[in-house]
Amino acid sequence: MRIHVILTGGTIDKLYNPLKGELGFTQTHIPAALEQGRCGVDLEVQQLGLKDSLDMTEEDRAQILEACRNSAHQHIVITHGTDTMAETARYLIAANPNKTIVLTGAMIPLSVHGSDGLFNLGSALVAAQIMPVGVYIAMNGRVFNGAQVTKNRSLGVFEALH
């Protein structure tokens, strides 16, 4: 089984600039993280862009959907910013791409000590292999139905909607 990993940005891929005291994008850190994690999964990695999810537009979501539809693979992991990850998941669900798609990200960038990014990325890769067709979010060691999840901003975790 080969998994298509689609990179879109988000905190997981940000780098801290100590001169400016802010987070931003320079290049993706995902391939290095996969190597660090000794990933044994056969992957195809595609970078669509590096964008904060608060800046995601409908055109960006359409591009993500198109990449999923055009993928030769049935199993897809998308790195995405956490602020609008659930919105993108619902967008994909509405389009019914008939694939197993797992979105993931991080609250702390991969480039910062103590990041949750590698754990979330590994969880998403496992979820993409074992979950049935559908759209999911893998965060905090849990896999959520993409239609029934929200980010709890005060706790910094994802939770199932009730």
What is the Cα–Cα distance from 134 to 145, expressed in whole angstroms? Answer: 8
Nearest to residue 32, comparing CAs of 107, 135, 115? 115
Q: Which of 11, 28, 84, 100 is catalytic?
A: 11
Nearest to residue 108, comparing CAs of 148, 144, 142, 157? 157
What is the Cα–Cα distance from 48 to 43, expressed in whole angstroms? Answer: 16
Chain position carrying tokens 């999964």: 41
| Whether 100 is catalytic | no
Instruction: Quote the tokens at residue 150.
Output: 């929200």
Query: Which amino acids are annotated catalytic?
Result: 11
